[in-house]
Every structure is written in structure tokens, then in C-alpha cells.
Structure 1
Amino acid sequence: MKKEGEEIKKELQHRMTGYIVGALGLVAGLAWNDAIKALIEYLFPLAKNTLLAKFIYAILMTFIIGIVASYLIRFFDKKEENK
């Protein structure tokens, strides 16, 4: 019974850590979102809400997210192979 309590406690700590890291990742993502928007507005001084500016932003974000996702998939696949 005591062992089950310890396992539940460890699982709860593991999940809470995951939630906290996820929340911090969201904050970092929002900060990068603003930074990239500001960079695009600086490099392409268009009106803030023009269709072209939104498409440039969407394409740039898709490219960046694709690269990051590809890197993470490779990283975690290698980690699984090493187990």
C-alpha cells in the first residue's frame, strides 16, 4: 500500500513537471511570436494587418516549426533506440 502511494506521488510529480514545462514553453513561444512579428514588420515595413504581411509570417513560422519538429523527432527517436 505504501509502495503504491509512492508510485502515485512520483507520477503526480512527473506530470506536474510536464505541465509546468509546457506552460513555460508556451510563454517562450509567445515571446518568439512577438519577436518574429516585429522582425517582419521591421524588414518589410508594410501596414501591420496587410494580407501579405500575414502570409509572410505564416510561411516563416511554418518553416521554423517544421525544422524544430523534425529535429525533435530525430532526437527522441535516437533516445528511444538507446534504451
Structure 2
Amino acid sequence: MTDQQPTQEEKKSLKVEVLEKVSTLATAGFGLVAALAWNDAIQSVFKEWFPAPGNSIAAKLIYALFITSLVVVITIQLGRAVNLAKNKLGKNGSDKQS
């Protein structure tokens, strides 16, 4: 272990890295809250449309299939939108600048 003090540049770099991590964690937390809200809303819609006695396994399977299909479609559309935006901006992702 060395007794060297970090330089000003290293201190700034560490601060930026901490801020980036906190931002990422906060964004993930907000995403989880939004996902839970949507989960509750969609479950309520399913319970309204498919009133099943005793929370049947069939209703849960239909719900899981619906959510999975919805997530796949949304993910594909988001990926296409990102690629379209990258192409319009002239960036293909392989020429990242630091």
C-alpha cells in the first residue's frame, strides 16, 4: 500500500464516477417503481376482464404470456428507434468517443 495522496484529477474522476453510479442506481429505482405501478394496473385490468375464482393458474399464465409478449414488442421497437436515431446522427455505436 502506498502513502501517495490522490491528485486533484483523480479526486475529480472519483466524484464523477460516484455521481454516475448514484444516477444509475436512482434511475433503476425509479424504473422499478414505474414497473411495479404498471404491474398493479395491468393485473387490475386482467382481474376486471377475466374474473376467475381463486386466482386460477390459467389467468396467471395468460397474464405472464401477455406481459412477456408486450415487453418483447416494446424492446424491439425501442431498439429500432435507437438505431434509427443513431443513423440519423451519423453514429453507429462503434465510434464511441471518451
Q: TM-score normalised to the size of structure 1?
A: 0.85
Aligned residues: 83
Q: Contact (CA 8 Å) 1:40, 1:57: kept in 2 or not?
A: yes
Structure 2 residue aligned with 1:7: 13
| 1:68 is the counterpart of 2:74 | yes
Q: Which runs of 5+ in 1 are unaligned?
A: none
Measured in 2, the distance between the counterparts of 1:13 and 1:41 equals 42
Q: What is the CA distance between 1:51 and its match in structure 2?
A: 1.1
1:20-35 mapped onto 2 (5 Å cutoff): 20-35=26-41
Q: Which is helix-richer, 1 or 2?
A: 1
Q: What is the CA distance between 1:76 and its match in structure 2?
A: 4.5
Structure 2 residue aligned with 1:18: 24
Q: Which runs of 5+ in 2 are unaligned?
A: 1-6
Stretch deviating more after TM superposition (67-76 or 49-58): 67-76
Runs (4 or more) in structure 1 with deviation over 2 Å come to 71-80
Q: In percent, how many aligned pairs have the same letter?
A: 33
- Please list the CA deviations of residues 25-76 of structure 1 after superposition, one character each: whole Å capped at 9, or x if unmatched: 0011011111111101111111251011101100111011112222333344
Q: TM-score normalised to the size of structure 2?
A: 0.73
Greater C-alpha radius of gyration? 2
